[in-house]
Amino acid sequence: MKCKFCSREAYIKLHYPKMYLCEEHFKEYFERKVQRTIEKYKLLKKDEKILVAVSGGKDSAVTAYVLNKLGYNIECLHINLGIGEYSKKSEEYAKKQCELIGAPLHIVRIKEILGYGIGEVKTRRPTCSYCGLTKRYIMNKFAYDNGFDAIATGHNLDDEASFLLNNLLYWNTEYIAKGGPLLPAEGKFVKKVKPLYELTEREVVAYALAVGLEYIVEECPYARGATTLDMKAVLNELEEKRPGTKYNFVRGYVKKKKLFESEIRRKELKECKICGMPSSGDICAFCRFWGLKEEIKFKVKVR
Ligand code: SF4
Ligand code: ZN
Ligand code: ZN
């Protein structure tokens, strides 16, 4: 098949909207769509300092690549989780990606700052639960300490649709209320944005391939993934029969999200006595979990 816009061979067939595109026109389409997402949801401004959290995977690498290409002012942060070979490989990929992009990369290694890697802590708490807590905290504190205006993550349309479907099936209404492409800044919480919000996983993979981004394919050994994968499989099946299902599901959600707002339990936030970050108790969950006696400062030299 030929590209819809030129005489070249098609590189990809898009299902929604249905069209064949050559590699060049697909890249253009993808970048334009990211720019439109940013404008539609008012995610970022050109003069803001943006921290992209790069895991070594495809989504965050593509986020950094496209933001840089569109002229946004980005630096990258890789958090090495200290999970053996998996983390070593992830860090190598993150380095390669940032070299290709030409963006500064900061690396925080959990084992070096906290003494243990993820999975090495003796605790009853599930591994993914304290891993998530640790990543969220470090990302935010790093961005806050270094004066970033926003944190960009690589969540794509499939991630959001499966998150929504899962939380609707179990009526986790508070989670539903907290989804969406933009989480505005609040006190010491830095703004969080998802520039790939309207792009499918398939498009992200195709874009990474087209621009030559290499990324880690292996899953984290602790990934439970099964639920997410089930949700994604159901959505893919629906999408096959009714193209546009995922997009319309997520777009509709953004419009109706207000309906769930009353489900958010507002907690009075204080400052953690150890690190000074927002906390519902005297000591925040991060300092409590890691048994910290003093604040970890992430101040580095940024551009
Ligand atoms: Fe952390 Fe791995 Fe769990 Fe993801 S799957 S939250 S990286 S431990
Ligand atoms: Zn073309
Ligand atoms: Zn704290």
Q: Can you give the pLDDT at residue 58?
A: 98
Answer yes or no: is 10 a known binding residue.
no
CA distances from residue 30 to 26, 62, 211, 249 in whole angstroms, order as listed: 6, 10, 12, 20
- One pLDDT digit (tens) per residue for the chain, 303 residues: 999 999 999 999 999 989 999 999 999 999 999 999 999 999 999 999 999 999 999 999 999 999 999 999 999 999 999 999 999 999 999 999 999 999 999 999 999 999 999 999 999 999 999 999 999 999 999 999 999 999 999 999 999 999 999 999 999 999 999 999 999 999 999 999 999 999 999 999 999 999 999 999 999 999 876 788 899 999 999 999 999 999 999 999 999 999 998 998 888 899 999 999 999 999 999 999 999 999 999 999 877
Indicate if ligand 1 lies below 6 Å from the C-beta of 220.
yes
* Mutate-to-test residue for ligand 1 from 55, 60, 81, highest number of ligand atoms within 8 A of CB: 81
Nearest CA to ligand 1 atom 7: 220
Domain boundaries, the chain: 24-268
What protein residues have CB closer than 5 angstroms to ion ligand 3?
272, 274-275, 284, 287
* Residue 220 annotated as part of some ligand binding site: no
Nearest ligand by distance to the CA of 79: 1
pLDDT at 266: 82
Beta carbon of 53 within 6 Å of any ligand 1 atom: no
Mutate to test the pocket of ligand 1, among 153, 220, 224 (most ligand atoms within 8 A of CB): 220
Residue 118 in contact with ligand 1 by CB distance below 6 A: yes
Domain 24-268: homologous superfamily in CATH: HUPs (3.40.50.620)
CB of residue 264 inside a 6 A radius of ligand 1: no
Was 76 annotated as part of a binding site?
Answer: no
Which ligand neighbours the alpha carbon of 7 most closely? 2
CA of 2 to the centre of ligand 2 (A): 8
Q: Is 223 in the pocket of ligand 1 (CB under 6 A)?
A: yes
Instruction: Enter the pTM of the model.
Output: 0.96
